[in-house]
């Protein structure tokens, strides 16, 4: 076997708030094997060498966005990064920059979620009653879906925020993830909340601090391209400020189907 007896050296950031003054690096040796990912290596270290090592992971398949870490100074999902693709035997792992450290490799993604919440990442209906009790479904063409679906693949892993040089210099900057998601909802014809999101993005630390470094799009493991979304949102906001923006026509609704069966009651799962 090509990888037989090959050892990888992992330099892993350790930090326990309250005990350590500052983060430090600790080395671990991990045997190489075919298909080994960075997350597999971390699990190996935790199970066989040091069970106090802290990191976050869940789905192991690049869907949940939990395992974002800085791998050799580039933000990546640990589960999505085969060690072979790093082309080196020495791998340095740190927690995501631009976020406070909870412990070891665990970054506090709270600031990301707060900013994300601030741009109202949900469909806003012009009619409150319809939003509460929808009477009909929306019709949507394939083209309309394609106009925003790329931006809907965001898993909120925070890699784009970790890569963004503006977030690094100004922690108040909204950042690529919330701004990208703002565009995602504004470009959806089922939504009527563009004005509200424009207001959130149009602040001193809002969208206009983006210098289009493009690091967010390079770091995104899902191909979302937040930099593109931000540029499209900038254009929409500029045209809106001089009243030249033509808002997308509201999506048509389909009446309730006559063939629809009545909703089945939710079964009770209480153990008796």
Partner 1 sequence: MSETRLKLLQYITGIGLFFLVGIHLIVSHLSSGEPTAWESVSQRAASAGWMALYLLMLIFGLYHGIHGLRTMIIESIPRLPARYVDWTLIAAGVAIFIYAAYIPINAFL
Helices (H), the chain: 38-44, 110-118, 128-132, 142-146, 159-163, 165-169, 176-186, 194-201, 215-219, 226-241
Output 8 or 230, the one with its CB closest to partner 1.
230
Quote the least distance from Cβ 175 to partner 1, whole Å.
13
173 touches partner 1 (CB under 8 A): yes
The count of other CB atoms within 10 Å of the CB of residue 228 is 17
Output 157 or 163, the one with its CB closest to partner 1.
163
Quote the least distance from Cβ 187 to partner 1, whole Å.
17
Measured distance CA(39)–CA(23) in Å, rounded:
20
| Contacting range for partner 1; rule: CB under 8 A; set: 84-92, 128-136, 180-188, 233-241 | 233-241
Measured distance CA(101)–CA(218) in Å, rounded:
23
Near partner 1 by CB under 8 A: residue from 25, 59, 149, 171: 171
**What residues contact 235, with CB distance under 8 A and at least 6 apart?**
none
- Could you write out the DSSP letters of every residue in 119-156? T--SPPPS-HHHHHS--SEEP--HHHHHTTGGGGG---
- What tokens appear for 218 in the block? 């390079």
Near partner 1 by CB under 8 A: residue from 238, 247, 250, 256: 238
Site for partner 1 in 186-205 (CB under 8 A): 198, 202-205
Output 109 or 237, the one with its CB closest to partner 1.
237
Near partner 1 by CB under 8 A: residue from 241, 250, 252, 256: 241
- What tokens appear for 38 in the block? 């960075």
237 touches partner 1 (CB under 8 A): yes
Quote the least distance from Cβ 237 to partner 1, whole Å.
5
Residue ranges binding partner 1 (CB under 8 A): 166, 169-173, 198, 202-209, 237-238, 240-242
């Amino acid at each position: 076997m090509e990888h037989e007896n090959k050892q990888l050296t992992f330099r892993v950031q350790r930090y326990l708030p309250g005990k350590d003054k500052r983060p430090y690096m600790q080395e671990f040796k991990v045997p190489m094997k075919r298909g080994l990912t960075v997350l597999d290596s971390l699990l190996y270290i935790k199970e066989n060498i040091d069970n106090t090592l802290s990191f976050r992971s869940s789905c192991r398949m690049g869907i949940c966005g939990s395992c974002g870490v800085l791998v050799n100074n580039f933000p990546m999902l640990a589960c999505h990064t085969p060690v072979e693709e790093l082309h080196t035997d020495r791998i340095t792992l740190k927690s995501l920059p631009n976020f406070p450290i909870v412990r070891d490799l665990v970054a506090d993604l709270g600031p990301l979620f707060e900013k994300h919440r601030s741009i109202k990442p949900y469909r806003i209906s012009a009619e409150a009653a319809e939003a509460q009790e929808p009477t009909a479904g929306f019709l949507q063409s394939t083209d309309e879906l394609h106009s925003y679906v790329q931006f809907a693949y965001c898993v909120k892993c925070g890699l784009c925020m970790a890569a963004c040089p503006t977030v690094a210099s100004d922690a108040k900057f909204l950042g690529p993830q919330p701004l990208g998601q703002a565009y995602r909802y504004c470009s959806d014809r089922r939504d009527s909340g563009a004005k509200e999101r424009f207001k959130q993005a149009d602040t001193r630390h809002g969208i206009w601090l983006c210098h289009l470094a493009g690091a967010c799009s390079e770091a995104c493991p899902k191909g979302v391209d937040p930099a593109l979304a931000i540029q499209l949102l900038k254009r929409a906001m500029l045209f809106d400020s001089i009243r030249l923006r033509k808002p997308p026509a509201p999506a048509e609704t389909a009446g309730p189907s006559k063939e629809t069966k009545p909703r089945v009651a939710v079964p009770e799962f209480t153990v008796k």
